[in-house]
A and B are shown apart, each in its own frame.
Chain A
């Protein structure tokens, strides 16, 4: 090893303190997951993974999280656009409301949803009396609960991107004859696409992991409302191996998607 190369490495490398602290941070995330992996009941794994508890939970989790992501996109994109582009009175209050689910304990969120949309709820009550439709204890309840906690991720991420974008491009598009929807479709959204995608993935990830609001609002019934997190919780009561197996699935699914997310989209978060 010659001096020049050694010196280059020393001079150009990251400061030791940062590496140490960063490493500790990584350990905080990695060690619990590794501990989980260490508890895997390898011999029982095939039998545990095949059971219909797993199948039901996985199906419900995927359906609910994807639906929640879709609804978040449908409602969240316009909301983000309004917050970023329109100066209306009370804008900061609205933004506060949007951020609230991020701060509220999910169980509190679930309780609030129950008071609003439950059978005896503020809005749910009249709907029930008029149509007999009940949100809790159905897959729709799960979807509403997960959308409630996950959508803020999309709105906040996208609002940030829309604010950071150079709006003059939209002006340029207008002078070329593009109407407002065309500008949105061909200029604005493509330009914030990386942020939008990152926001959607984050939303989906949050939706997948949602527990407190779901169990409080939608209840817990295998095959109908029991998502993977709920199944893990219930399994912990009786069969720890089953809980580990279910947790494993969640970790595997989440890690796969998050790692597959291209690095450049992470930069936009």
Chain B
């Protein structure tokens, strides 16, 4: 083969690889701090990413968005930040901790979660005012709790709350166990339990749309890896995976 042809083939290979989301530079450990509601979805993203980018090891740091924000602001090392609301991301941006503009990569809607079989016969947000029932919400300080309360306000309901769980997964566990009669979580959370928890729709006019931003971080130990991961999440392949879990495209 002639040298020119060799170069063309080389460029073609690089183009193809890039289109498939492979950056020749991505390797090593990539630390992703993501909201708890992304637990299952991001696990699948991790698998797919690592398969497409051998030599990388995505480490997921999952928790409540506010805790993760605090960690980042206090200087904990992370490559990517994916909280469940924009205000947490804004605080990180304000502190100059991001590298590159955050982008909304998925949106999520709220849903009422009840234990399988709906033993308490919940029909809608109005039931949340019932003192006889055990009602759980996410703590006000976390996105899920903030949005949940917004939805209840939209519906004109003053809830009789029995517990404010620190993150959405903790709330989901209690609902699944039947220890609370109802809670407000994300649609994706209900889907993730695979029928262990039933979901009751919240009407569109009451519901709140959660927007999930993602950004690579400024102090990232692995900036190339961070960029590659963000790119993957925003790519068609990444979006397809996320949609499988119930997330909606922005």
Contacts and interface: CB of A to CB of B under 8 A. Distances in A.
Q: Do A and B belong to a common assembly?
A: yes
Interface of A: 114-115, 118-120, 134, 136-137, 215-216, 219-222, 224-226, 233-238, 240
B161 interface: yes
Interface in B28-78: 64, 66-67, 70
Chain B binding site: helix, strand, loop or mixed by DSSP?
loop
A137 B141 CA distance: 19
A237 B178 contact: no
Given A118-B177, A119-B134, A134-B134, A219 B66 contact: no
A215 B162 CA distance: 12
Contact of A237 (B70, B162, B165): B70
Contact of A219 (B142, B165, B178): B165
A238 B165 CA distance: 15
Most buried by B among A120, A220, A224, A225: A220
Contacts of B66: 236-238
B163 A225 contact: yes
23 contacts: A114-B179, A118-B178, A119-B178, A120-B177, A120-B179, A134-B134, A137-B134, A137-B162, A219-B136, A220-B164, A220-B166, A221-B161, A221-B162, A225-B163, A234-B164, A236-B66, A236-B67, A237-B64, A237-B66, A237-B67, A237-B166, A238-B66, A238-B141
B248 to A, nearest CB: 26
A59 B66 CA distance: 27
B234 interface: no
Interface residues of B, number: 22
Most buried by B among A134, A233, A235, A238: A238
Given A216-B170, A220-B139, 4 more contacts: A115-B177, A222-B164, A237-B66, A238-B140
A115 B176 CA distance: 12
A53 to B, nearest CB: 12
A220 to B, nearest CB: 5
B150 to A, nearest CB: 16
A237 B164 contact: no
A219 B163 contact: yes
B179 A236 contact: no
Most buried by B among A120, A215, A219, A226: A219
Given A220-B165, A221-B161, A238-B141, A118 B179 contact: yes
